[in-house]
Amino acid sequence: MGGHFDRFFQQWWGTLYKDFIITGIDGVWNDMNEPAVFNGRGGTMPEDNFHRGGGKLPAGPHLRYHNVYGLLMVKASRDGIMNVNSEKRPFVLSRANFLGGQKYAATWTGDNASTWEHFKMATPMVLNLGLSGQPFSGPDLGGYGGSPDADLFANWIAVGAFYPFCRSHSEKGTNDQEPWAFGKEVENVSRTALQRRYRLLPYLYTLFHEAAQTGLPVMRPVFFADVTDKSLRKEDEAFMWGNDLLIVPQWSEDPQLPEGIWNDISLLGNDVENDGYQPNLKQRGGSIIPVGSVIQSTEEFKTDSLTLLVCLDENNSATGTLYVDKGEGFDYRDGEFEVDIFKAEKTGENTITVKCEVEGKKQTKKQRFYQIGLVTNSGVNYSDWQNNNTVIISTKGSL
């Protein structure tokens, strides 16, 4: 009877999404699913509250299933959405989750406060979630409870653009928290931050594919750059995207950063001087980061024209990867995707040659327009746009 009840309840819950999804809604947000009971001890069910279990889950007290409850809810939610529209990738956001729940939902870090303390807590929280197998997470930018001032919000959104899950959110009764509500300066800071994120979408999407395949987090502690350097293990203000991009907040005091070649690309997405809020972006020597154009939403995302940021190592070479699929549906499971491998090396006294090779299950002959941005310790030198899979850039005066 317990197993029957469990399956019946999950199926019933999944049916509740039908009327929403058929209207064109793209995703759902599961809140209060710890579960929360406001007048209960500890804000939840009594520890000895009995759960029937069912299927592969044994019956047991709430103390055992408090955290698992959120996992079961998001799984049922995802299954319900898929039953309505099996051709579209579902999006589920959850406040509660458990090990394995990354297969079903993204997570945000809960109801934070609009304070510097909670702002600085967000980065280590997201890093730890990533290390715990949850690569898609982030806080409420600007804080949920209370009203941030302009300076706090500007700092928060500038760094928050680099959390895997990125959104501003606040509770009822607080001041307006849209970027323009803080004045023109903060509006411009926010625009620059979001433009950076949008331009880096080719790299970010590739990192999410890597996370899905390997379990590696998208947002990583700096000690991932050198696990033998013990000085990096306590750093929780600066962080990395993948192996190749280092994000260092402006407000960070004496951050512990990895040694080696890390050259600056901080003006990415901003054609004027740094506004004082954007974190410094540093690219690892030996890497190639694919960058797209400034867009207004992911609906405009394309990879037909890419800037390849090339940061050479001590041997004057670099490599990078780009993963591309349709961005919707599940054809990638049948091989409808491509993986581009970029390789750069010094081929002459004043030239660097960058080649693109397509690997993976789907071999494509599509040619893109490429621009090379040679990243050095004195700036970025850009080539002209070319539509060949081999691009040569002059290094004269750059290295």
Q: Which two tokens stand for residue 320?
A: 């990078």
- Catalytic entry in 34, 235, 264, 340: 34
CA 116 – CA 136 distance, rounded (Å): 23
Check if 151 is active-site: no
| 10-32 exposure pattern, b = at least 16 Cβ within 10 A, e = fewer | beebbeebeeebeeeeebbebee
**DSSP state letter for 66:** H
CA 333 – CA 100 distance, rounded (Å): 20
Sign of CA dihedral 235, 236, 240, 242: positive
CA 364 – CA 357 distance, rounded (Å): 10
CA 138 – CA 161 distance, rounded (Å): 10
Sign of CA dihedral 149, 155, 157, 158: positive
**50 C-beta neighbours (distance < 10 Å), count:** 12
Check if 34 is active-site: yes
Q: Helix (H, G, I), strand (E, B), or coil: what is residue 150?
A: helix
**DSSP state letter for 176:** P
Place of tokens 């939840």: 44
- Catalytic entry in 19, 26, 31, 178: 31
| 347-369 exposure pattern, b = at least 16 Cβ within 10 A, e = fewer | eeeeebebebebeeebeeeeebe
Q: What are phi and psi of 324, to 5 degrees?
A: -135, 130
Q: What are phi and psi of 267, to 5 degrees?
A: -85, 10
Percentages of the chain per state (helix, strand, coil), in multiples of 5: 30, 25, 45
- Catalytic entry in 6, 47, 79, 111: 111
CA 95 – CA 87 distance, rounded (Å): 26
**Residue 191: which of 292, 279, 278 has the closest Cα?**
278
**Residue 292: which of 232, 205, 180 has the closest Cα?**
205
Check if 31 is active-site: yes
Q: Helix (H, G, I), strand (E, B), or coil: what is residue 347?
A: strand
CA 188 – CA 183 distance, rounded (Å): 9
Catalytic residues: 31, 34, 111
